[in-house]
């Protein structure tokens, strides 16, 4: 008996997050109910389908599950989210009900890791500055010489999945990696080829990358005092969440021009059209796309579908989210 499986995403979203092979796999392994409405379901439409659902596959735009829906979901065994956080997708009650929850967030982290290395190397070598100067008709720029990454020290804030993806890509560069993470043991740090460090030590590194989730405990954790520790000439990368940083103090530091920042996230998003950060020469800006890549997105549904299948077979899973993880999830 194949499991009745609600695929919540309409065709347009499936084109982004579900390969042809994955559609075939879903048709083969499950008894899917594809969303043929041409748009996301409303909460009412989803609620009406809960009684029959044994598996649910969701993605960006899918309606949130409520406690009321869960009461109807008497057959539900698993929900797999082909996207990031499930914090707002499922209520805490789902875990008590014994439904397995899966999130493809760790797959997204791989794209974030590549963004971090791209932004770092580009910033170290002043590629945007050189490109701009070339477009203005110039050639060499007196006094401007790029820096190598090899042999440097990289400070990491929070040993999240994006940090781990980034650290893996640093392997050939023989860098020293310092991590601040209150939940990371010495042994776990050693397995990442890194050393535990204080927030002050990490903020004093010539390269700093922020990977902290947005939680009450991390809000404004990078205070004015900590931002003042960033060395002159450093590269500061934020691919996690803007509000982790004291926005006012950060803007003042950036305006001094004494270090470079690659910023994919901001205090308020979308970034205000006339925000002064848009005019600074010492920043590389992008619109919260560190996790967005063609290949990364297209792999999302396949990753959770395969993990749901592993879970149903009682094999080891990769993407399961338990109640404890859900609680600290951004």
Selected range binding a copy of itself among 21-29, 193-201, 276-284, 321-329, rule: CB under 8 A:
276-284
Residue 159 neighbours by CB distance under 10 Å? 22
228 binding a copy of itself? (CB under 8 A): no
Contact residues for 164 (Cβ-Cβ < 8 A; gap 6+) = 109, 113, 192
Asked if 96 touches a copy of itself (CB under 8 A), the answer is no
Nearer to a copy of itself, 80 or 113 (CB): 113
| Rounded least distance, CB 129 to a copy of itself, Å | 9
Q: Are the C-beta atoms of residues 236 and 261 closer than 8 Å to each other? A: yes
- Using CB under 8 A as the binding rule, whether residue 261 contacts a copy of itself is answered as no
Could you say whether residue 60 binds a copy of itself (CB under 8 A)?
Answer: no
**Local structure of 290: helix, strand or coil:** coil
Q: Is 238 exposed, middle or buried (0-12, 13-18, 19+ CB in 10 A)?
A: buried
Choice from 192, 215, 271, 325 touching a copy of itself (CB under 8 A): 271
Nearest-10 crossing angle of helices 300-312, 105-124: 140
- Under rule CB under 8 A, residue 251 binds a copy of itself: no
Q: Taking the complex as a whole, how short is the minimal distance between the CB of residue 289 and a copy of itself, in angstroms?
A: 6
Contact flag: residue 133 with a copy of itself (CB under 8 A)? yes
Contact with a copy of itself (CB under 8 A) among 3, 118, 192, 229: 118
Q: Which two tokens stand for residue 118?
A: 């791209």
> Residue 208 pairs with which residues in a beta bridge?
155, 236
SS3 132: helix
Which of 96, 171, 190, 217 is close enough to bind a copy of itself by CB under 8 A? 171
- Distances, alpha carbon 154 to alpha carbons 59, 67, 105, 166, 178, in Å: 34, 44, 24, 11, 6
Smallest gap from residue 139 Cβ to a copy of itself (A): 4
Residue 241 as a binder of a copy of itself (CB under 8 A): the answer is: no
Residue in 140, 313, 316, 324 binding a copy of itself, rule: CB under 8 A: 140
Long-range CB pairs of 182-188 (<8 Å, 24+ gap) are 183/159, 184/159, 188/159
Nearer Cβ to a copy of itself, position 90 or 284?
284
Q: Which is nearer to a copy of itself, 77 or 125 (CB)?
A: 125
What residues have CB less than 8 Å from 287, skipping those under 6 apart?
Answer: 264, 269, 270, 271
CB of 272 vs a copy of itself, minimal distance in Å: 9
Record the tokens describing residue 269, joined without a space.
Answer: 């998003």
Stretch that binds a copy of itself, among 78-86, 112-120, 180-188, 321-329 (CB under 8 A): 112-120
Residue 270 touches a copy of itself, criterion: CB under 8 A = yes
User: Which residues are CB-contacts of 292 (< 8 A; sequence separation ≥ 6)?
Assistant: 111
The CA distance from 89 to 307, in Å, is: 18
110 in contact with a copy of itself (CB under 8 A): yes
Binding of a copy of itself by 221 (CB under 8 A): no
Residues that bind a copy of itself (CB under 8 A): 110-111, 114-115, 117-119, 121-122, 124-125, 127-128, 130-131, 133-135, 137-141, 145-151, 168-169, 171-173, 269-271, 273-274, 278-279, 284-289, 292-297
């Amino acid at each position: 008996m194949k499991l009745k499986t609600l695929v919540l995403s309409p065709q347009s979203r499936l084109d982004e997050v579900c390969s042809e092979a994955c559609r075939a796999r879903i048709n083969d392994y499950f008894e899917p109910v594809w969303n043929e409405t041409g748009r996301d379901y409303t909460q009412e439409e989803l609620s009406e389908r809960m009684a029959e659902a044994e598996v649910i596959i969701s993605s960006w735009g899918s309606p949130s599950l409520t406690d009321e829906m869960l009461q109807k979901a008497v057959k539900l065994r698993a929900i797999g989210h082909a996207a990031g956080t499930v914090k707002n997708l499922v209520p805490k009650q789902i875990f008590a009900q014994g439904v397995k929850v899966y999130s493809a967030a760790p797959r997204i982290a791989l794209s974030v890791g590549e963004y971090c290395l791209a932004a770092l190397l580009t910033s170290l070598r002043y590629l945007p500055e050189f490109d701009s100067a070339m477009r203005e008709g110039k050639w060499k720029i007196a006094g401007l010489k790029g820096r190598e990454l090899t042999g440097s020290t990289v400070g990491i804030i929070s040993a999240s999945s994006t940090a781990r993806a980034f650290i893996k890509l640093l392997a050939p560069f023989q860098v020293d990696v310092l991590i601040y993470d209150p939940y990371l043991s010495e042994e776990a740090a050693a397995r990442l080829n890194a050393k535990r460090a204080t927030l002050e030590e990490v903020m004093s590194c010539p390269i700093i990358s922020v990977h902290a989730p947005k939680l009450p405990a991390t809000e404004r954790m990078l205070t004015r005092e900590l931002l003042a520790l960033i060395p002159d000439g450093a590269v500061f990368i934020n691919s996690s969440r803007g509000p982790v940083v004291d926005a006012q103090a950060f803007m003042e530091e950036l305006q001094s021009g004494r270090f470079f920042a690659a910023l994919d996230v901001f205090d308020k998003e979308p970034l205000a059209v006339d925000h002064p950060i848009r005019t600074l020469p010492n920043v590389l800006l992008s619109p919260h796309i560190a996790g967005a890549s063609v290949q990364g997105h297209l792999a999302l549904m396949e990753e959770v579908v395969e993990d749901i299948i592993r879970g149903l077979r009682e094999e080891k899973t990769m993407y399961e989210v338990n109640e404890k993880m859900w609680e600290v999830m951004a």
